[in-house]
Amino acid sequence: MKFFGLHTDVKKLSVKPSFFTPKTWVELSQKYLADVFGKDWQDEYYVWDCAAGTGNLLAGLTNKYNIWASTLDKTDVDVMKERIHNGASFRKLISNLRSELKILAEKIEPKVYEYGFLREYIFSLYLIHIVLKNVTI
Ligand SMILES: C[S@@+](CC[C@H](N)C(=O)[O-])C[C@H]1O[C@@H](n2cnc3c(N)ncnc32)[C@H](O)[C@@H]1O
């Protein structure tokens, strides 16, 4: 049977259509969204992929907090959840966080140094004592 111009087994399609969007189409879809809703669309809108599969269509979105994903199969849900914890974008976030923490540590580190305030104070008193002893008024 023809469905959207394609020869398809509509029975199967109605039960569980399964097709995974190629990366180029994913990128194009996000470009179209930005064209229509503006460059900050990800911060201004929520995204709900209601047939998300393993989340291909959501790949590359930067504001993960505004994404909702639901799908039929529990195994696909598990894959998406695993990606939240160990996927490429999670690893990128960790890497960015490490860089930020390194910069912060480099700013804080010089504030920690060796200095014996009493030792320096006593030494200064000793020097003053020597100087005063040798000064003739
Ligand atoms: C066409 S794939 C698209 C997956 C993903 N959004 C992508 O673009 O790569 C559709 C997905 O929706 C799921 N699905 C099919 N029928 C569904 C339904 N009635 N409710 C929720 N999810 C469904 C399928 O299991 C499949 O993983």
Q: pTM of the prediction?
A: 0.67
Q: Are 59 and 65 in contact (CB under 8 A)?
A: no
Tens digit of pLDDT at every position of the chain (137 positions): 555 555 555 555 555 556 688 999 999 999 999 999 999 999 999 999 999 999 999 999 999 999 999 999 999 999 999 999 988 888 888 999 999 999 999 999 999 999 887 787 888 888 999 999 888 76
In 3-state terms, what secondary structure has residue 95? helix
What tokens appear for 45 in the block? Answer: 């809108």
DSSP 66: G
State the Cα–Cα distance between residues 14 and 75, nearest whole angstrom. Answer: 20
CA of 90 to the centre of ligand 1 (A): 23
Q: Which residue owns the Cα nearest ligand 1 atom 1?
A: 19
pLDDT at 5: 53
pLDDT at 137: 66
Q: For the chain, what are the domain ranges?
A: 21-134
pLDDT at 50: 97
pLDDT at 87: 85
- From the CA of 26, give the closest atom in ligand 1: 8
The residues near 53 (Cβ < 8 Å, ≥ 6 apart) are 18, 20, 71, 76
State the Cα–Cα distance between residues 99 and 109, nearest whole angstrom. Answer: 15
CA of 16 to the centre of ligand 1 (A): 7
How many angstroms from the chain centroid is the CA of residue 51?
24
